Amino acid sequence: MTVSGRDGKAGQDVLRRVGEASVLILISLADGPKHGYALIQDIKELAGVELGPGTLYGALDRLERLGLIDALPADDRRHPYRITAPGAAALRVHLDSLERVSAAGRLRLRLGGI
């Protein structure tokens, strides 16, 4: 996995195919570890997206398999998750890519006079 690049040119955008839920989870974990319920609440506030619990666990498992997040030791019955260094790098690459696409879209809208 090559996610070391900060500018998105050196690193491959591994998050392109993981789905929106996974990206939102990584964004939510970027400011510190959270467990499932906290993730759902945070993502609802952050993006207005109500993540279903089934979707949440599917995305968490996928991200963990990819090495982008880590499960911390259980606190009561809840497993907090934290973003890993490759996860943070992958998120940076993905957000940079989204920014470039967003800038290009805005520019084209301006040029088109819409």
Partner 1 sequence: MPAAGGQVSDGPRASRVVGTVLRCYPARWRRRHGEEAAELAALLIRDGTPAGSIAWSYLAGAAREWLTPRPVRRLSTVACALLVAACSLGVSAGLLASAAPARAASTSQARGHTPGRAHCRPGSPEPVPGVTPAVSRPQVIIWEAGHGRSC
Residue corresponding to tokens 């990819």? 66
Q: List the beta bridge partners of residue 83.
A: 69
Give me the residues that bind partner 1 (CB under 8 A), please.
35-37, 40, 50, 52-58, 61, 65, 74, 76-79
Give the nearer residue to partner 1 in terms of CB position, either 5 or 58: 58
Check if the beta carbon of residue 26 is closer than 8 Å to that of residue 63.
yes
Give the nearer residue to partner 1 in terms of CB position, either 84 or 92: 84
H or E stretch covering 81: strand 81-83
Give the nearer residue to partner 1 in terms of CB position, either 79 or 82: 79
Give the nearer residue to partner 1 in terms of CB position, either 62 or 98: 62
Task: Give the shortest CB-41-to-partner 1 separation in angstroms.
Answer: 9
Task: Give the shortest CB-32-to-partner 1 separation in angstroms.
Answer: 19
Task: Give the shortest CB-89-to-partner 1 separation in angstroms.
Answer: 21
Check if the beta carbon of residue 71 is closer than 8 Å to that of residue 79.
yes
Distance CA 29, CA 40 (A): 11
